[in-house]
């Protein structure tokens, strides 16, 4: 937490003193202690109410209250298994803040996105850093406690949420969206629900999603990314433009896709803003603030034209074709000059047939 609140400090003494003072006023409490002796602090009910009064008038949403519940038989605190995940989320926010991405008040946790079915998909972390070129980004932190297909399901739910309309949408837009399954793709993003919640991203597509893996190996990350790219291709992959010249237009349409990037918490802790980031369908790039695709479109590489061979063009047998002499043809080839015979525009230009008397076409020999 001290990396997020006091990134310039070399130790956490000042942050710890502030937490102890808040604990004396019953605003925070220690929920658990990790194996590395790190303490997980959460807001109490009183502190949660004070935070809402302070932050919600400024447009900052406060996460859900972590209630203090104990097992009636053993007396152990319930819900402590989530503490490792909460620590990874806080560490991710701290490393992004140290890299210059996002203000300390620009991070929000457990932000819900309600789907049409009533299900609420909660993002682990929401980052808003317009100064760093990231107006908004949804982050999912995974300690490899979730199956890869569960992450694909989350990506699908974010894609579905980006296609919803607000409740007060005009009747014409609603009728257009209900006319056929893909009709929502013809509705501008400014009329959709996600534009009521988040600012424009500055690029094509829906709200970008980042998957951050923590406490795992490179092999597991590679296997998970392979499943994301294959099973989730419908949600992140671009499409061809609907044009009459599909071979001439090589650009891709990202307007209905969810931009997806992948990195690890260890990369953020070691390299900060220069951490290796991989984009689904693309290549790994260094720098979390960079855009893997500048214009949001992937272009097909053009085939290089073959260079001319020395000695002129080749024949089928591999021998060089004889060069044409100036003012004449190649040796052994007779040039034939065609003579044009002009005729009058009117009248019959066919010679009469001796048997029928009717005109017929006659080919005049070319005089030599």
Does the pLDDT of residue 76 top 80, yes or no?
A: no
User: How far, in Å, CA of 228 to CA of 233, rounded?
Assistant: 7
Q: Which pLDDT value is given to residue 77?
A: 65
Q: CA 16 to CA 191: how far, in whole Å?
A: 46
* pTM for this predicted structure: 0.67
Does 234 have pLDDT greater than 50?
yes
Which tokens belong to 246? 């599909």
Q: What is the DSSP annotation of 99-132?
A: TT-S-GGGEEEEEEEE-TTS-EEEEEEEEEEGGG
Residue 45: CA atoms inside 13 Å, Cβ hemisphere, count? 3
pLDDT, greater one: 49 or 87: 49
Above 80 in pLDDT, residue 78? no
- The model's pLDDT over 288-301, given as tens digits with 9 standing for 90+, comes to 544 444 334 444 44
| 76 or 192, higher pLDDT | 192
Q: What is the 3-state secondary structure (H, E, C) of 160-214?
A: HHCCCCCCCCCHHHHHHHHHCCCHHHHCCHHHCCHHHHCCCCCCCCCCCEEEEEC
DSSP three-state, residue 350: coil
Q: Lowest mean pLDDT: which of 15-29, 66-80, 171-185, 302-316?
A: 302-316
């Amino acid at each position: 937490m001290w990396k997020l609140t006091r990134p310039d400090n070399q130790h956490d003494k000042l942050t710890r003193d502030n937490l102890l003072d808040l604990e004396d006023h019953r605003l925070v409490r220690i929920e658990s202690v990790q194996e590395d002796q790190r303490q997980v602090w959460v807001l109490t009910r009183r502190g949660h109410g004070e935070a809402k009064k302070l932050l919600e008038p400024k447009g900052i949403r406060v996460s859900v209250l972590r209630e203090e519940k104990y097992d009636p038989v053993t007396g152990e605190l319930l819900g402590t298994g989530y503490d490792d995940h909460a620590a990874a989320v806080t560490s991710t926010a701290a490393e992004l803040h140290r890299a210059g991405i996002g203000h300390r008040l620009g991070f929000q946790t457990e932000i819900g996105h309600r789907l049409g079915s009533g299900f609420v998909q909660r993002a682990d972390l929401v980052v808003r850093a317009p100064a760093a070129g990231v107006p908004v980004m949804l982050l999912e932190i995974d300690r490899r406690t979730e199956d890869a297909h569960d992450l694909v399901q989350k990506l699908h739910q974010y894609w579905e949420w980006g296609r919803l309309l607000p409740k007060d949408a005009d009747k014409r837009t609603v009728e257009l969206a209900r006319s056929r399954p893909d009709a929502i793709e013809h509705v501008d993003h400014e009329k959709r629900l996600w534009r009521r919640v988040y600012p424009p991203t500055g690029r094509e597509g829906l709200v970008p999603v980042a998957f951050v893996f923590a406490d795992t190996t490179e092999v597991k990350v590679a296997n998970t990314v392979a499943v994301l790219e294959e099973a989730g291709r419908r949600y992140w992959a671009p499409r061809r433009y609907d044009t009459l010249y599909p071979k001439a237009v090589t650009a891709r349409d990202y307007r209905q896709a969810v931009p997806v990037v992948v990195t690890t918490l260890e990369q953020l802790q070691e390299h900060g803003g220069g951490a290796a980031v991989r984009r689904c369908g693309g290549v790994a790039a260094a720098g979390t603030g960079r855009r893997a695709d500048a214009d949001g479109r992937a272009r097909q590489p053009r085939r290089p034209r073959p260079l001319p061979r020395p000695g002129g063009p080749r024949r089928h047998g591999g021998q060089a074709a004889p060069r044409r002499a100036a003012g004449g043809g190649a040796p052994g080839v007779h040039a034939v000059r065609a003579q044009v015979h002009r005729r009058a525009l009117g009248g019959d230009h066919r010679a009469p047939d001796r048997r029928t008397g009717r005109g017929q076409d006659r080919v005049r020999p070319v005089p030599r």
